[in-house]
Structure 1
């Protein structure tokens, strides 16, 4: 099943003057955000991000939106509008541009700088258009007005899309921090002005819709960080997202205040902070940042490292430190700060890293025991404010798991939006805005596209199932030689098992059963090596399932001699 609503058929043709909205990612999940807006035969894409794999997707590096909906209409895409520079909004852009490299990328200065650095690694030189809040640009039949919003990365934008079929307002990821570190407020005056104009469809960030009240201001984090820097006896290691410019700024300020030196660890962190400093979004105090190779020139109580790995990613710097697989040797007296919130699905990996660090003697400070991070998303109180200001005709919650979307829809209804005008949709579900009314009209194919090493789209659920079996159940190889003239077993079976706590002796009883089953099948005549392999597989599977309660991968090899 490629979408969660098998009762929905393919959508009918879009009525003349209508606007179609199809999310290819970001609905029913936190990540791989991508929304396609269609009007007058043209397509506008808002964001194109990745989703990071969970434990049940072994071997997968990234998960992309399913581009099949737009693959045969690439010439109709007039632009890709990027709301901000987080991976779950820009990470899949290189893979879309590999299908058609000249699609214009539209975004703020920092967002474009981050995506251009990423595209350089893919050897793609994009066509870009930098925009700022208050700016209006036309792309085919779409007139886009960009609105300042604050988030956990600078230079984030909401986008209002005017068409002949109605006005859409997409918030991107946002919150309403009234005392932002960069003095850049979410432009509620613009939201109100657009509301007066008449917003026909309001697409709103749902991530924190279940959280009551208002999101804590970023400035409230600094006292907790300052306290860590004042009390720490030895080295301080801060882990955060490689794009979290505000948090790194606070770390640099605290280091300057306490006379510490900061080394930045990790390729993506070094790259992004270099871009932020060059563009003026990160202000580095004099003589605070040093190369990691020179950090040991300073006493340990003056050392600070900023690295990635706050989500427990196995190859990130912090996870490797916890596993003693990094040149930084974490030990007694060190303080580790996880300056980020938990992305759903990452909890076990993060707690595994925390336990590993504490086992090494480190003090770990995280959101659960100190105010060292605040969310970048609007809580319920802020969303209510937005609904009352914008007064939209129709609402479509975006960016969140199903529980977040439902909670966001309930907030919209509480402010007076009619229940039948709140559209709850998941990836692949098609929503048409026609004559001022938004409704679900069908669904399109929208599966997971896996990036697995150097392959894109080759890995599927059956392959992942095989990997999960290998990981969880082990495997058994059986080699047997059959005399092609008599049908008798002339050698074997040789049985090799891996991943069994019981040991090889537990399989001793299956060998006679294999011989009997193979000779019985051969004796009937007409059984080729493939059919005999199936006999071996069934025999071993039945034995292991009954005796050991396991379902391993069984690889039979039948040689006819």
Structure 2
């Protein structure tokens, strides 16, 4: 292999988009990966459950990967790990809370034997030519870290997701002193998140939300309180428990992801439940409304979330009444506004009172605004800079801020998916491109074909399968192997062969010459094929059996 004196950084996710963060650092024979996240499908991706990075480049170079470094436990940073582990067997490093959440995901996927390595803030690990230090930062989940990576060409800092919270719920302020020390030592390259770069000023402290909760609890003393929030926002959940205990209310949890995160946070020692506060949601019928708080999923109007199901009278444990106050403790993610406001309208129709971000300050961001980002830059004083974690407009805005702080245009690179950026002690530039993009997780199957998604937009829902059978008009014999045409659904070769066998077996059960009306046969073909596809792919496509007599 040709000897190299440059550090290669390849972007597999998290640039030009929000979510599915994944970055590979490469020097010589060694590769390390920062984060392995997912994102959720937009409305023009029917039938898609989640979207993950195309990791083909990593799989092709799996023998060179020394480890995966997780900055924190949110889905956009750990969500694609279970899919990666189908092809890779590498150590995964993260804090106790991060790995507790990942372990719960791996259990769901029935993945055993993953090489999970727990680290603490200021721990240092060696991975090939790289030395990595984990640095505590504030975010909306505990165990969040920035990474200081010593490479043969210099020090690289990756911010992860962060904010500067001087009154954090955990009591642990971002490790500004260590960041300052690194800046004095000399930082070659900074990769810094850009999520809130369009917001001026500072992000409010999480403690500001407690004041609003106490005010709302005090104003609704005789009413039942239902709070929808992100299940991953452990600090928000902690505050709800604390305020509920102060007002002597019991708390019930609802939603699978909510239960999983709370269990993981308790096991990791990151969530402290006041004694006698937590009850099972099945027990809420034993308590008057004034003594109850229900924390549930659905802050983004997700179709199958608990809050959405409550509005549709599809959640047996809770029936919304005019004695309920619903607090939506989250801001709408762009694109979700229509779904959220539909839920709010339905809640009002049921007589409930609804409190959301435009009415009360019941949410603060976990991401840094402009002034905090300026502090990060000022402390680290990087020679080169790559903005990350944002859509293209965020990255451009962040690059502009860096220039305003004294950096030259030649010292800044705005990367896009698939870009490889090479960094030396004296230069930074885009040099190459690797395979990158999105893979669509649909039930149990993963596909990277955009054509499948385009077909689904037209077909809607779960796709279409046409089965074509040719039989002799003289003796009823099947004249050739059945053919399959499918649109908007992805089937493996083995699944296609299985369906053909099902068709042949179904046809063999009939005397095709004697049966004049083929409707019964078509009905049987339709049900047999649908049952198989539903079992194997979790999709329920339209099945059109075609029987042609020749």
- Where in structure 2 are the equivalents of 1:446-525 lying within 5 Å? 446-457=436-447, 460-471=449-460
SS of equivalent residue, structure 1 residue 451: strand
SS of equivalent residue, structure 2 residue 84: helix
Once the two structures are superposed, residues 279-319 of structure 1 have per-residue CA deviations (whole angstroms, 9 ceiling, x without a partner) of 32111111111111111111012111111111221111111
Tell me, which stretches of 5 or more residues in structure 1 are unaligned? 1-12, 485-552
Query: Is the Cα–Cα contact under 8 Å of residues 19 and 166 in structure 1 kept in the other structure?
Result: no
Counterpart of 1:8 in structure 2 is none
Instruction: State the alpha-carbon separation in 2 of the partners of residues 15 and 441 from structure 1.
Output: 16
- Tell me how far 1:272 sits from its aligned partner: 1.5
Counterpart of 1:219 in structure 2 is 207
Larger radius of gyration: 1
Counterpart of 2:40 in structure 1 is 52
Counterpart of 1:319 in structure 2 is 308
SS of equivalent residue, structure 1 residue 43: strand
Once the two structures are superposed, residues 169-221 of structure 1 have per-residue CA deviations (whole angstroms, 9 ceiling, x without a partner) of 00100000111111111111111111112111100010000100000011111
Equivalent of residue 121 in structure 1, options 103, 108, 111: 108
Once the two structures are superposed, residues 359-400 of structure 1 have per-residue CA deviations (whole angstroms, 9 ceiling, x without a partner) of 222222111211111000000011111111111111111111
Instruction: State the alpha-carbon separation in 2 of the partners of residues 28 and 357 from structure 1.
Output: 36
Equivalent of residue 345 in structure 2, options 349, 352, 355: 355
Query: Is the Cα–Cα contact under 8 Å of residues 14 and 20 in structure 1 kept in the other structure?
Result: no
Instruction: State the alpha-carbon separation in 1 of the partners of residues 2 and 173 from structure 2.
Output: 37
Equivalent of residue 180 in structure 2, options 183, 192, 200: 192
Q: Is it true that 1:155 corresponds to 2:143 in the alignment?
A: yes
Counterpart of 1:377 in structure 2 is 367
Query: Is the Cα–Cα contact under 8 Å of residues 3 and 28 in structure 2 kept in the other structure?
Result: no
SS of equivalent residue, structure 2 residue 12: strand
- Where in structure 2 are the equivalents of 1:168-179 lying within 5 Å? 168-179=156-167
Counterpart of 2:413 in structure 1 is 423
Q: Is it true that 1:166 corresponds to 2:154 in the alignment?
A: yes
- Where in structure 2 are the equivalents of 1:9-158 lying within 5 Å? 16-101=4-89, 103-122=90-109, 123-158=111-146
Counterpart of 1:543 in structure 2 is none
Instruction: State the alpha-carbon separation in 2 of the partners of residues 441 and 342 from structure 1.
Output: 38
Query: Is the Cα–Cα contact under 8 Å of residues 39 and 52 in structure 2 kept in the other structure?
Result: yes
Q: Which moved more, 1:353-362 or 1:201-210?
A: 353-362
Counterpart of 2:511 in structure 1 is none
Q: Is it true that 1:329 corresponds to 2:319 in the alignment?
A: yes
Q: Is it true that 1:443 corresponds to 2:461 in the alignment?
A: no
Once the two structures are superposed, residues 516-536 of structure 1 have per-residue CA deviations (whole angstroms, 9 ceiling, x without a partner) of xxxxxxxxxxxxxxxxxxxxx
Once the two structures are superposed, residues 34-87 of structure 1 have per-residue CA deviations (whole angstroms, 9 ceiling, x without a partner) of 111101211100100111111111111111111111111111110100000001
Query: Is the Cα–Cα contact under 8 Å of residues 33 and 47 in structure 1 kept in the other structure?
Result: yes
Q: Which moved more, 1:202-211 or 1:288-297?
A: 288-297
Counterpart of 1:434 in structure 2 is 424
SS of equivalent residue, structure 1 residue 420: helix
Instruction: State the alpha-carbon separation in 1 of the partners of residues 65 and 435 from structure 2.
Output: 19
- Tell me how far 1:452 sits from its aligned partner: 0.3
Query: Is the Cα–Cα contact under 8 Å of residues 33 and 50 in structure 1 kept in the other structure?
Result: yes
Counterpart of 1:276 in structure 2 is 265
Query: Is the Cα–Cα contact under 8 Å of residues 262 and 290 in structure 1 kept in the other structure?
Result: yes
SS of equivalent residue, structure 1 residue 331: coil
- Tell me how far 1:558 sits from its aligned partner: 8.7
- Tell me how far 1:554 sits from its aligned partner: 13
Instruction: State the alpha-carbon separation in 1 of the partners of residues 312 and 397 from structure 2.
Output: 39
Instruction: State the alpha-carbon separation in 2 of the partners of residues 111 and 258 from structure 1.
Output: 31
- Tell me how far 1:15 sits from its aligned partner: 6.4
Once the two structures are superposed, residues 6-49 of structure 1 have per-residue CA deviations (whole angstroms, 9 ceiling, x without a partner) of xxxxxxx9861211111111111111111111012111001001
SS of equivalent residue, structure 1 residue 44: strand
Structure 1 pair 274–557 and aligned structure 2 pair: CA distance change class (3 A): closer
Instruction: State the alpha-carbon separation in 2 of the partners of residues 184 and 344 from structure 1.
Output: 31
Counterpart of 1:6 in structure 2 is none
Instruction: State the alpha-carbon separation in 1 of the partners of residues 88 and 419 from structure 2.
Output: 25
Instruction: State the alpha-carbon separation in 2 of the partners of residues 270 and 20 from structure 1.
Output: 40
Q: Alignment length, in residue pairs?
A: 479
Cα root mean square deviation, aligned: 2.5
Q: Is it true that 1:412 corresponds to 2:405 in the alignment?
A: no
- Tell me how far 1:556 sits from its aligned partner: 11
Query: Is the Cα–Cα contact under 8 Å of residues 188 and 425 in structure 2 kept in the other structure?
Result: no
Counterpart of 2:516 in structure 1 is none
Q: Which moved more, 1:270-279 or 1:87-96?
A: 270-279
Instruction: State the alpha-carbon separation in 1 of the partners of residues 154 and 169 from structure 2.
Output: 35
Equivalent of residue 259 in structure 1, options 222, 226, 248: 248
Counterpart of 1:542 in structure 2 is none
Instruction: State the alpha-carbon separation in 1 of the partners of residues 433 and 358 from structure 2.
Output: 40
Once the two structures are superposed, residues 502-549 of structure 1 have per-residue CA deviations (whole angstroms, 9 ceiling, x without a partner) of xxxxxxxxxxxxxxxxxxxxxxxxxxxxxxxxxxxxxxxxxxxxxxxx
- Where in structure 2 are the equivalents of 1:387-406 lying within 5 Å? 387-406=377-396
Instruction: State the alpha-carbon separation in 2 of the partners of residues 384 and 109 from structure 1.
Output: 30
- TM-score, normalised by the number of residues in structure 1: 0.81
SS of equivalent residue, structure 2 residue 431: strand
Tell me, which stretches of 5 or more residues in structure 2 are unaligned? 474-541
- TM-score, normalised by the number of residues in structure 2: 0.83
Instruction: State the alpha-carbon separation in 1 of the partners of residues 243 and 292 from structure 2.
Output: 12
- Tell me how far 1:344 sits from its aligned partner: 2.3
Query: Is the Cα–Cα contact under 8 Å of residues 200 and 436 in structure 1 kept in the other structure?
Result: no
Structure 1 pair 300–29 and aligned structure 2 pair: CA distance change class (3 A): same
Runs of at least 4 residues off by over 4 Å: 553-558
Query: Is the Cα–Cα contact under 8 Å of residues 14 and 432 in structure 1 kept in the other structure?
Result: no
Instruction: State the alpha-carbon separation in 2 of the partners of residues 471 and 277 from structure 1.
Output: 41
SS of equivalent residue, structure 1 residue 186: coil
SS of equivalent residue, structure 1 residue 129: strand
- Tell me how far 1:275 sits from its aligned partner: 2.1
Instruction: State the alpha-carbon separation in 2 of the partners of residues 421 and 364 from structure 1.
Output: 49
Instruction: State the alpha-carbon separation in 1 of the partners of residues 383 and 407 from structure 2.
Output: 7
